Amino acid sequence: MELPNHSPVNFIFPNDHEITWSLLIVIYPYITGLIAGAFVVSALYKVFKIKEFKCIEDFALVAAFCFGLFAALPLLAHLGQPQRALNIFFTPHASSAMSIFGYVYGSYMILLIIELWLVYRPYFILKVNATEGLEQRLWWLLTLGVTIYNPDSAKLDNKLEVFLAGIGIPWACALHGYVGFIFGSVKARAWWATPLQPLIFLLSAIVSGMAILLIMYTFIKWRQGARYDFVMIKKYATILWAVFILDFVLEILEVIFAAYEKGHHWSLIGPLLKGPLFETYVIGQLLILSTIPFFLLGYAALVDVKEKSLLYLANIGSFLLTLQVLLMRYNVVIGGQMVAKSERGFVKFHWDFFSGEGVLVCVAIFVMPFITYYVISQFIPIFEEEEDEITKPVERQARRFRRSLRENR
Amino acid sequence: MANPTPYSHLYRLGLVLITGLVLFMMIMIAQTPASWNYEVWYRGDALVEMKSIPIVYGGNESCVECHADEDEEMAEYAHKLLNCEGCHGPLTLHVQDGEKTADAVGKSDWQCLNCHQAQISNPLDYPQFPGDISKHENIKKNTLCVKCHAPHDPALSEEDEDEAMFEF
Amino acid sequence: MRELIPGVNVTDINDIDSKSRREFVKKALSGSALMLLVYAPGAAALHGRGTGWKQMSTEHRYAYVIDIHACIGWGGCIRACKQENHVPDNMFRTWLERYVITEDGEVYVDSPDGGLKGFPPLNDEIQSKTSISFFVPKMCNHCEHPPCVQVCPVGATFKSPEGFVLIDHAHCIGCAYCVQACPYGARFYNTEIGKSDKCSWCYHRVQDGKSPVCVEACPTGARKFGDLLDPDSDVAKILAGRQWAVLKPEVFTSPTCFYISLPHEVV
């Protein structure tokens, strides 16, 4: 294996033998990315008026919220002193990207919760009036005690929703751009330190968020036996394809630029990509998981494909893209730490399954948003088309109510 | 409840947010360490605490307190620059609260070779020994370095050398 | 002594009059005020917040000097540091490296157990083709612009007024961002206490009037520690000779650990 700076021996500083940021830090930007991606989908309808996405705007918002709840959990699990985690908020060091992330993330979650609350407020009010006892108290709490729906407030809420979605887009972008900044600003890590890093993280976040939403959508509709909205899927695949092209261009641009420049950067990254990252980066991320979805989604977007084929194309493409982004997070986070600070060797990464930072914990954290989504979906209606299957009259009433509100917009 | 105005839920939301913010600020103020230095951004007391970490190595000046004679002798020896504890172990393993708790260590070949085994990486004018006793000038028998070289005063005069030759 | 510390850039030698420098500072400050309004964290980062010691009065400005020529690689400094600072196995607040540069320009570097037990002699094959070989003591550089301090999210690591870069273990959350940010591998994640850890220049000893334990342990004077504000100190005299170098100058951290006779192969 070729080592950086033509070193004949793999020399690593004695403190550098362990990869300090392990798999938990791989899924942290991954889950954070899913929030940004999901939020952008809901905003595409609200702000950019892409009418095909009307049927998934609430779904995207709820999904973003579920991912948001668990975005900071990997970080917390990784901390040596998790009981002091709130120090990030109490004594925030303004020059630290990580501490500012705490505030960006916190405020973004508040924005997301307000947006969700406005969307579901009519439903909460209905529930208060249709339930009794403890259940009623809980729904009452969610209405903040305003249990009568004033039709004038519907228009107001609507405007506010659009406004929040509008500022939510730059906020979501800032959220994930900041994750890229956390890595990109570390000059000690050649593979991280590029000004493109925030942009790459942002675009890949949108790709992964959109991709995973489509898979969730298909899965939910399949389980419910409901019909798929193929017009939406077509549009969705097209936008996903376009965002992925942008994402991929930036990813590859960074490497090509460094390779052509042949500077200090490349003296470390070149051997890294030819050596320890060859399988996961060149073969996995670039050749397999980028090329195939590019053609699948491109076909779905450009050619007039039939319903079933469209569904398969879009979903297989999306699934591969979720893997592509996951692998990209791995390649960045772990790959960056593989370049030894001695600039004369590579640090080996040890796969770990059962330890506190192992695969098992990561999988456990990663399924939590989906479980949360399932639980939430038991309490609030997420898809409008569910109306036919809904038996409870209250919920049917809520549907009609919300739909009439929408039509009044 | 009375018929709400179109804004009443927003007022309540605002109230919740403001209450939350005030609560957060209060917790933040309570949780910020009292000695926090806002200019440099660190906990001022940290320096005080770090200052009081107990010392393990006392330095030669602490050895002199009991071993003044050895210190006086050392002034002329080749090893005069050395740190006593480098060979004899740290002060706190030897003395606690002014009382001797254990013997100081010393006198093994490993300790001599640790510095004087020939290394291509060492300065050229540094006294070095090949490490293998059979390569020692005039000496073929396996023995301890300290038999001939007093650890405090390792240099041998010509007479010493003759005497040493006689012994082996 | 301040101008001996790297990082002061002037475009023209004639620029070094205090008036134009003051004006430059003024301009920079007014610019930063605007930036602060727009983007406080960015501005803070640009102006090196977290190294505010410059505004604080201080009687000492410590520096460390390592003389490559004098080091014999015996490892006593490493052992002393381990005991003095209770450093766990396989973690190092200071360590030794052995460089071997062959006649064909190949660079072999090793550091068996950080040089804790000294170095075994090189094998004959490498010895026969060696052009030059030497030991390099390494440790925290106590940078003037420490990237580790910049990234700490909670202010648990900081530059003290006297030049020490320290970790407040009672405030550290153990995120290890500082470990990532250090270009020198001087910081490590101490798994025994679940916090970041590193060389403190033996703050507790220095405040007690002693030297850092590695300096104390060094038999050849390869490690020196002293006060730059005292013109008679060893380090002040050595730096006045201007024959020093620092590690990785390209990352602009302005270390205050200075090396004498540092070959350019050393990273």
Do B50 and B67 reside in the same domain of the chain?
A: yes
**What pLDDT, in 10s, does the model give residues C21-30?**
445 445 444 4
pLDDT, mean of residues C53-76? 84
Dump strand ranges (E) for A242-400: none
In chain A the domains, ranked by start, together with CATH numbers, are: 4-408 (1.20.1630.10)
Do B77 and B116 reside in the same domain of the chain?
A: no
The answer as to whether B126 is a domain residue is yes
Q: Search chain C and give the residue with CA nearest B117.
A: C121
Please tell me the predicted confidence (pLDDT) of residue B155: 82
Q: Which two tokens stand for residue A177?
A: 């751009």
Do B113 and B99 reside in the same domain of the chain?
A: no
Average model confidence (pLDDT) for chain C? 84
User: What sign results for the dihedral spanned by CA atoms C112, C115, C116, C118?
Assistant: positive
Find the CB nearest C217 among B86, B117, B122. B86
Q: Which two tokens stand for residue B4?
A: 């709400």
- Look at residues B84, B106, B128 and tell me which one is the last residue of a structural domain: B106
Alpha helices, H only, A131-228? 133-143, 151-184, 197-224
Please tell me the predicted confidence (pLDDT) of residue A193: 95
The answer as to whether B1 is a domain residue is no
User: With an 8 Å Cβ cutoff, are B120 and C121 in contact?
Assistant: yes
The answer as to whether B156 is a domain residue is yes
Nearest to C110 by CA among A272, A344, B119, A2: A344
**What pLDDT, in 10s, does the model give residues A94-136?**
999 999 889 999 999 999 999 999 999 989 999 998 899 999 9
Q: Search chain C and give the residue with CA nearest A96.
A: C151
Please tell me the predicted confidence (pLDDT) of residue A267: 95
The answer as to whether B2 is a domain residue is no
Q: Hunting for tokens 């342990």 — which residue is that?
A: C217
The answer as to whether B152 is a domain residue is yes
Lowest-confidence range among B38-47, B95-104, C209-218?
A: B95-104
**What pLDDT, in 10s, does the model give residues A218-276?**
999 999 998 899 999 999 999 999 999 999 999 999 999 999 999 999 999 999 999 99
Q: What is the DSSP letter of A284?
A: I
Q: Which residue has the higher pLDDT, C3 or C106?
A: C106
pLDDT-based confidence at A394, cuts 50/70/90?
A: low
The answer as to whether B54 is a domain residue is yes
User: What sign results for the dihedral spanned by CA atoms A380, A384, A386, A387?
Assistant: positive
The answer as to whether B34 is a domain residue is no
Do B49 and B99 reside in the same domain of the chain?
A: yes
Report helix, strand or coil for C108. strand
Q: What is the DSSP letter of A350?
A: P
- Look at residues B81, B106, B131 and tell me which one is the last residue of a structural domain: B106
The type of residue at A25 is: I
Do B78 and B124 reside in the same domain of the chain?
A: no
Please tell me the predicted confidence (pLDDT) of residue A187: 95
Q: Which residue has the higher pLDDT, C162 or C7?
A: C162
Which chains would you list as touching C if contact means 3+ CB atom pairs under 8 Å?
Answer: A, B
Count how many domains chain B has: 2
Query: Does the pLDDT at position B53 exceed 90?
Result: yes
For residue A238, report the phi and psi dihedrals to the nearest 5 degrees: -65, -45
Q: Which two tokens stand for residue A108?
A: 């973004």
B153-156, long-range: CB within 8 Å, 24+ apart, which pairs? B153/B73, B153/B76, B153/B77, B153/B78, B153/B79, B154/B77, B154/B78, B154/B79, B155/B77, B155/B78
Parent domain of B140 = 107-168
Q: Give every CB contact of residue B13 below 8 A, 6+ residues apart in sequence.
A: A114, A117, A144
Query: Does the pLDDT at position C224 exceed 60?
Result: yes
User: With an 8 Å Cβ cutoff, are B42 and C121 in contact?
Assistant: no
Q: How far is B138 from chain C (nearest CA, A)?
A: 23
Q: What angle do CA B97, B103, B107 make, to 5 degrees?
A: 140
Strands C94-102 and C107-110, by their bridges, are antiparallel
C-alpha span between C151 and C165 (Å, rounded) = 13
The answer as to whether B25 is a domain residue is no
Q: C44 contacts in A (CB within 8 Å)?
A: 94-95
Find the CB nearest A144 among B6, B9, B28. B9
Q: A85 contacts in C (CB within 8 Å)?
A: 173
User: With an 8 Å Cβ cutoff, are A21 and C176 in contact?
Assistant: yes
Q: Which two tokens stand for residue B93?
A: 């393993």
